[in-house]
Amino acid sequence: MIVPGVEVDAAALAIPLEPVPADQVVSGAPSTGYIELTDTIGVWEHTPGTSTDVEADEVFIVLSGSATLSFTDSSLEPVELGPGSVVQLTEGMHTVWTVHETLRKVYVAG
């Protein structure tokens, strides 16, 4: 957990990774993991491969890596993600994450 006034290096945190559940894998053998810093802030990582997800309300900032984020249930165009990308997701969005280089993001949920 993050402590008010104390710096956390989100890029250097060791994040425990687990394989993405088989029913969410589109291609490759991706793994994901996250660390909660507060009830609404965390750091998430996804290794190369493609997986699906159903999103919660969040805003995120990509720290490192690259990916293509596609939206399967809307007319939104795919988004190319890289360091510095800022994206807002809304609860219930169906997404496809095609990760080219291990992606790490800081998210604020809610």
CA-wise closest residue to 10 among 37, 31, 33 = 37
Q: Going by DSSP bridges, is the β-strand pair 94-109/49-54 parallel, antiparallel, or unpaired?
A: antiparallel
pLDDT band at 1 (very low <50, low <70, confident <90, very high): confident
Per-residue pLDDT tens digits for 10-64 = 999 999 999 999 999 999 999 999 999 999 999 999 999 999 999 999 999 999 9
Separation between Cα atoms, residue 70 and residue 59, nearest integer Å: 16
Whether 64 contacts 106, CB under 8 Å: no
Given a cut of 90, is residue 6 above it in pLDDT? no
Q: Which fold has domain 24-109?
A: Jelly Rolls (2.60.120)
User: Which two three-digit tokens encode residue 1?
Assistant: 């957990």
Separation between Cα atoms, residue 95 and residue 53, nearest integer Å: 5
